[in-house]
């Protein structure tokens, strides 16, 4: 006899998928509009410094890299990845983060705290949001070197 199992997701467990994605180039924001009318808006800089990529977040919180000089960054490209994420490319060349719909929800819920923490981390490090600030030099990514096995 065939055994079937059905899992019913509660409404709060379902991933919220936007019905509209608006890129506002002049004010440098990305806006997600949901079926229930809720809107979430993020600056390009906020998305860049909160990219979910390993390059930014590291593989653990201790490996996270402070993102400096990103005030003028803009979104250069947006590519849907299946029905679950957006791949966002930025004008500084960063394009390795996949922003899932769940991650966008998390960003919307924690936006103010994340932004304040980011500004505090910059200040404590003596770094800046400004792209040409010499104080950012120690935090800029080092050129990658090729190693034999990779």
Q: How far apart are CA 103 and CA 110, in angstroms?
A: 10
**Count: domains in the chain:** 1
pLDDT tens for the chain, 150 residues long, are: 444 444 443 445 457 899 999 999 999 999 999 999 999 999 999 999 999 998 898 888 888 899 999 999 999 999 999 999 999 999 999 999 899 999 999 999 999 999 999 999 999 999 999 999 999 888 877 665 555 544
Residue 149 buriedness (CB in 10 A; 0-12 / 13-18 / 19+): exposed
Does residue 10 sit within a domain?
no
Q: What integer pLDDT is reported at residue 106 of this predicted model?
A: 97
Query: What CATH code is carried by the domain that includes residue 33?
Result: 3.30.2020.30
Give domain status of residue 56, yes or no: yes
Residue 107 belongs to domain spanning: 17-118
In a domain, 51, yes or no: yes
Per-residue confidence (pLDDT) for residue 63, from 0 to 100? 87
> Would you state the pLDDT for residue 7?
41
Q: What pLDDT is stored for residue 4 in this prediction?
A: 47
Tell me what pLDDT residue 62 has.
84
Report yes or no on 141 lying in a domain.
no
Q: Are 78 and 90 in contact (CB under 8 A)?
A: no
The answer to whether residue 4 sits within a structural domain is no
d(CA 68, CA 106): 22
**What is the structure's pLDDT at 75?**
98
Residue 78 resides in a domain: yes
């Amino acid at each position: 006899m065939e055994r079937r199992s059905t899992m019913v997701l509660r409404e709060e467990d379902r991933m919220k998928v936007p019905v509209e994605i608006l890129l506002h180039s002049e004010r440098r924001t990305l806006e997600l509009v949901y079926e229930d009318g809720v809107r979430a808006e993020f600056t390009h800089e906020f998305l860049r410094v909160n990219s979910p990529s390993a390059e930014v977040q590291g593989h653990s919180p201790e490996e996270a890299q402070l993102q400096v000089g990103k005030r003028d960054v803009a979104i250069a490209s947006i590519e849907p990845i299946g029905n679950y994420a957006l791949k966002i490319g930025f004008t500084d060349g960063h394009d390795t983060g996949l922003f899932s719909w769940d991650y966008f929800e998390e960003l919307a819920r924690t936006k103010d705290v994340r932004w304040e923490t980011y500004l505090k981390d910059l200040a404590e490090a003596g770094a800046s949001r400004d792209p040409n600030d010499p104080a950012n030099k120690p935090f800029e990514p080092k050129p990658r070197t090729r190693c034999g096995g990779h």
